[in-house]
């Protein structure tokens, strides 16, 4: 796997695909700088080598039309501040304006190109457009994990014009290493904690990871499809009736493969899907009608904790309760604390894909686990075992 450490960028122009798809408020002020900070180490290494950086990204969904509100010009000063180097901006990402701006770029300087998705060709993976982009750098660096599952011009197609002059930035390299640490060479016991609302959205992940894990903890809304399929009473809890057979099949296959499945034994049930609901603890398979399980109960959390603490490799995807409501956060927090403790004892812990990342950030576990993925969809597809086109294009 080639990374920027395999190149000397002295006198070279690096064309870097970053993920600056950042949230802006009504006054076009950045409300979360995480993605820019995440790209900083790569940019700094290239500048310190004596190279220059041409940054390309998308912002929002302009669908091939230039839109003032989605111009990357709004983030120029924020990027300058975070990187600590003045950032130049050009109002197009291809064509003569871009080429002229690149030709004026000197060592140690940064140029940010306008939103790639102002051109419909970007998302279509258009080869001519990718070729035009490729004229803007000597070495292609992909550091955008968030779009690595898309075969777009700037994330995938452009790579073919760089032969051996292409590599991963630090951020993308770290994402790949972290996924490999779980999926390829995870130290045993390997535990996956899968939560979230539905079995259907996690089924491909479960199928893919059953061969790689020792323990599967199932939590959150997914629980009730399994419990009902096993003959339990789940009251009004969320359930995918048409996935009951699938749930039983997963349990059977897990057993055949020697994977221990841990389902909740008790829950916090509520008489309404609301933070103001009445609540009570019940056995997971004895939930009365009119009540629904919205969080893991204390016995469950003790059980989950024990499994997590004996694990050497941990993957967490999906909250184990409705963590958006304060009264049902306890389970998700407890899982976070257990992972933190296991990590302190030397386990490798990866949090990735969707809402568990939001939960980890909200509850301050970000620095307490080994790695928090920056890519939602890209992470899910990796866990499903798919080869991401953006990664494959560099490896080719
Ligand atoms: P996902 O995007 O599949 O990871 O699902 C995350 C969502 O699942 C979050 O919005 C949670 O509120 C929701 N969730 C977790 N547990 C439950 C539950 N017991 N009942 C309903 N929704 C749940």
Q: DSSP string spanning 124-155?
A: HT-HHHHHHHHTT-SEEEE--GGGTTS--TTT
Q: What per-residue confidence (pLDDT) applies to 185?
A: 86
pLDDT tens-digit series, residues 345-357: 999 999 997 788 8
**CA 322 to ligand 1 centroid distance, Å:** 5
Residue 183, judged by CB atoms within 10 A of its CB (0-12, 13-18, 19+), counts as: buried
Q: Is 297 a catalytic residue?
A: no
79 and 189 together in one domain:
no
pLDDT tens-digit series, residues 68-78: 999 999 999 99
In a domain, 325, yes or no: yes
204 and 346 together in one domain:
yes
Beta bridge partners of 139: 14
CA nearest ligand 1 atom 20, residue: 221
266 and 137 together in one domain:
no
Q: Is 377 a catalytic residue?
A: yes
Beta bridge partners of 292: 270
**CA 152 to ligand 1 centroid distance, Å:** 31
Q: Is 198 a catalytic residue?
A: yes
Range of the domain at 308: 176-383
pLDDT tens-digit series, residues 137-175: 999 999 999 999 999 999 999 999 999 999 999 999 999
Q: Is 354 a catalytic residue?
A: yes
* Mean pLDDT over each residue of the chain, to the nearest integer: 96
Q: In what order do the strands lie in the sheet with 190-194?
A: 260-262, 215-218, 190-194, 313-317, 348-351, 371-372
Band (375; pLDDT cuts 50, 70, 90)? confident
Say how far apart CA 137 and CA 134 lie, in whole Å: 6
Percentage with pLDDT > 90 across the chain: 95
What would the two tokens of residue 144 be?
């955008």
In a domain, 391, yes or no: no
**CA 186 to ligand 1 centroid distance, Å:** 27
pLDDT tens-digit series, residues 7-47: 999 999 999 999 999 999 999 999 999 899 999 999 999 99
Ligand 1 neighbourhood includes 324 CB (under 6 angstroms): yes
153 and 212 together in one domain:
no
Query: Among 168, 191, 219, which residue terminates a domain?
Result: 168
């Amino acid at each position: 796997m080639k990374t920027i450490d395999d190149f000397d960028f002295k006198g070279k122009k690096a064309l870097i695909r970053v993920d600056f798809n950042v949230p802006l408020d009504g006054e076009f002020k950045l409300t979360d700088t995480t993605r820019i900070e995440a790209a900083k180490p790569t940019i700094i290494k290239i500048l310190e080598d004596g190279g220059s950086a041409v940054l390309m990204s998308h912002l929002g969904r302009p669908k091939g039309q230039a839109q003032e509100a989605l111009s990357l010009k709004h983030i120029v000063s924020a990027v300058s501040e975070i990187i600590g180097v003045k950032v130049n901006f050009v109002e197009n990402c291809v064509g003569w304006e871009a080429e002229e701006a690149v030709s004026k770029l000197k060592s140690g300087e940064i140029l940010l190109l306008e939103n790639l998705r102002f051109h419909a060709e970007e998302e279509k993976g258009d080869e001519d457009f990718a070729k035009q982009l490729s004229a803007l750098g000597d070495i292609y660096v992909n550091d955008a994990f968030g779009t690595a599952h898309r075969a777009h011009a700037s994330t995938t197609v452009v790579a073919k014009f760089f032969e051996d002059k292409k590599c991963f930035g630090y951020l993308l390299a770290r994402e790949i290493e972290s996924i490999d640490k779980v999926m390829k060479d995870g130290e045993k016991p390997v535990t996956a904690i899968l939560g979230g609302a539905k079995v259907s959205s996690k089924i491909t992940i479960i199928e893919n990871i059953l061969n790689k894990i020792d323990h599967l903890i199932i939590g959150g809304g997914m629980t009730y499809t399994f419990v009902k399929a096993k003959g339990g009473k789940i009251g009004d809890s969320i359930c995918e009736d048409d996935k009951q057979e699938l749930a039983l099949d997963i349990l059977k296959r897990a057993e055949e493969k020697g994977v221990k499945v841990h389902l909740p034994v008790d829950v916090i049930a509520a008489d309404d899907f609301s933070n103001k609901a009445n609540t009570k603890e019940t056995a997971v398979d004895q939930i009365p009608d009119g009540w629904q399980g919205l969080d893991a109960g204390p016995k469950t959390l003790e059980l989950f904790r024990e499994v997590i603490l004996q694990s050497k490799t941990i993957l967490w995807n999906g909250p184990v309760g409705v963590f958006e409501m304060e009264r049902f956060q306890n389970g998700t927090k407890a899982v976070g604390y257990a992972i933190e403790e296991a990590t302190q004892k030397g386990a490798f812990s990866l949090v990735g894909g969707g809402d568990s990342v939001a939960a980890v950030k909200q509850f301050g576990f970000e620095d307490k686990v080994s790695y928090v993925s920056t890519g939602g969809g890209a992470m899910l597809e990796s866990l499903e075992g798919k080869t991401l086109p953006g990664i494959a294009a560099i490896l080719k």
